[in-house]
Amino acid sequence: MSEIKEILDLVKQQGTDWTEFQKASDSRFKNLEIETRELAKKAGRPFAEAGGMFGADPAARLEKYIDAKTGGAISVLTHGDKLASLTTKAEDTPSIGRLLRGIVLGGQAHDADELSEERKSFGIFSDPSGGYAVNGSLSNEWIDALRANMVLSKAGARTLPMDSGQVKIARIVTDPTISWHGENAALPTGDPTFGAVTLNAKTCVCLVKLSLELSQDSANIETMLQTTITNAMASAIDSAGLVGVTTDAGAAPSGVMNLADRNTVTSIGAPTSWDWVVDGQYELMLDNVPMENIGALIAHPAVYKKMRKLKTGITNDNTPLTMPAEVAALPKLWTTAAPLTGGTTASGIIADWRDLIFGIRSQITVRVLSETYMGSNLQIAVLAYARVDFAATRPASFCTLEGITV
């Protein structure tokens, strides 16, 4: 019996010791988590939210940046993430097109009273100039529709919702200088590793004109307005993000093609193989971008046409030219927003697109210009604008492929 008692006492003591160990471990982990969060806030670096990457809340799975001024978390979205998931969304939220129709037709819409109530409930209020400011969950849905059509978002650029017109984020200026330290030897100095880049919201404007008869009689006015505006704005934002603009250049993002310290492959000429893409991949790998992180090739459809028609080069053989495996695995996004000069000279871009941040103010404004064109040609116009910017957090992650003769 004494032996059994001793065993029971031993088991009991082990249970007590294990409980104390768990408490001590929990305390250490909690303190470590607090310290890590404080360090992350000071550094302005991303950190993991409670719940982990696979928490039940979609917003908890998003990467976070820390606003260095407020200490608050800013969600960073990939193409598959939805800004609307960050807000509570009613199941009966009207479509963007439906509310656009209501704004255009005003009191002439058959469901004008219902649309008026919906505008109020979803934070759409008249502004002093006669327009409507789209806020809250509906604005997020509009932004998601815009992002869904953006090539840069599809390539992997991440979206940063901006709560103000200016947001400062960290960027990698140069990779760290690594050395081995001998005992008592002086520590070598190196170039600065981190710097700052500022997102300054710039205004993208879309004006759509339509006849009064079309606005009142068209059965698909909702789809037409939503599709036309979101597609046009997405293309314009892509173009500015890729190449900037020539007129009033300071009013738009400067574009990856103008990014200082990017990698380049120049004077490609008329390609007879995919070597120019391999050269670009090589330049990125020299700057420590792993092959698996090199994202989509973005280029004009003229480049697609040129490359798709290439043959093996063997006499009388019309077999299409085979791409190297790494080039074949590279997603290819063809868009007229990509550079094409004079119809004959194009450029492409490959990158770790996750290092491109797309900042957008969480408000879109819509105005109906009913008087401007009504008196001259019986037209009305819908004016929509969004405020956006792009920033590269690591210029060496981008490679422009220039001078492609098509």
49 inside domain? no
54 inside domain? no
Residues 167 and 296 in one domain: no
Cite the DSSP H helix spans in 205-354. 212-217, 221-243, 275-286, 301-308, 325-328
Is the pLDDT confidence value at 38 over 80?
no
Residues 168 and 88 in one domain: yes
Residues 371 and 338 in one domain: no
pLDDT at residue 194 in the model: 73
Residues 314 and 366 in one domain: no
Contact, 130 vs 380, CB < 8 A? no
Residues 284 and 299 in one domain: yes
Residues 378 and 390 in one domain: yes
pLDDT digits (tens, 9 = 90+) for 233-247: 999 999 999 999 988
Is the pLDDT confidence value at 198 over 90?
no
**CA 201/CA 240 separation, integer angstroms:** 13
**Average pLDDT of 153-181?**
83
**CA 193/CA 175 separation, integer angstroms:** 6
pLDDT at residue 8 in the model: 66
pLDDT digits (tens, 9 = 90+) for 390-399: 999 999 999 9
71 inside domain? no
pLDDT digits (tens, 9 = 90+) for 319-366: 999 999 999 999 999 999 999 999 999 999 999 999 999 999 877 777
Q: What is the CATH number of the domain that holds 283?
A: 3.30.2320.10
pLDDT at residue 375 in the model: 58
Contact, 191 vs 177, CB < 8 A? yes
Residues in Cβ contact with 228 at an 8 Å cutoff, skipping those fewer than 6 apart: 208
**CA 288/CA 178 separation, integer angstroms:** 14
Residues 266 and 167 in one domain: no
94 inside domain? yes
Comparing 154 with 31, which gets the higher pLDDT?
Answer: 154
Backbone angles phi, psi at 399, to 5 degrees: -135, 120
Least confident of 58-72, 153-167, 210-224, 289-303: 58-72
77 inside domain? no
Is the pLDDT confidence value at 39 over 80?
no
pLDDT class of 122 with cuts at 50, 70, 90: low
**CA 309/CA 76 separation, integer angstroms:** 40
pLDDT at residue 151 in the model: 96
Residues 250 and 316 in one domain: no
**CA 162/CA 133 separation, integer angstroms:** 16
Is the pLDDT confidence value at 187 over 80?
no
305 inside domain? yes
pLDDT digits (tens, 9 = 90+) for 338-349: 999 999 999 999
**Average pLDDT of 251-256?**
92
Number of domains in the chain: 2
Contact, 211 vs 392, CB < 8 A? no
148 inside domain? yes
**CA 230/CA 233 separation, integer angstroms:** 5
Please give the single-letter amino acid code of residue 124. Answer: I
Beta bridge partners of 161: 360
pLDDT at residue 368 in the model: 74
Residues 239 and 267 in one domain: no
Beta bridge partners of 384: 206, 366
Least confident of 139-143, 162-166, 231-235, 236-240: 139-143
Please give the single-letter amino acid code of residue 110. Answer: H
Instruction: List the domain range (segments joined by +) for residue 154.
Output: 83-174+189-255+356-394
On average, the pLDDT of the chain sits at 79
398: helix, strand or coil: strand
pLDDT class of 52 with cuts at 50, 70, 90: very low
245 inside domain? yes
Q: What is the CATH number of the domain that holds 388?
A: 3.30.2400.10
Residues 294 and 153 in one domain: no
- For β-strands 364-369 and 131-134, DSSP reports them as antiparallel
Beta bridge partners of 209: 381
Reported residue count of the chain is 406
Residues 273 and 366 in one domain: no
Residues 323 and 379 in one domain: no
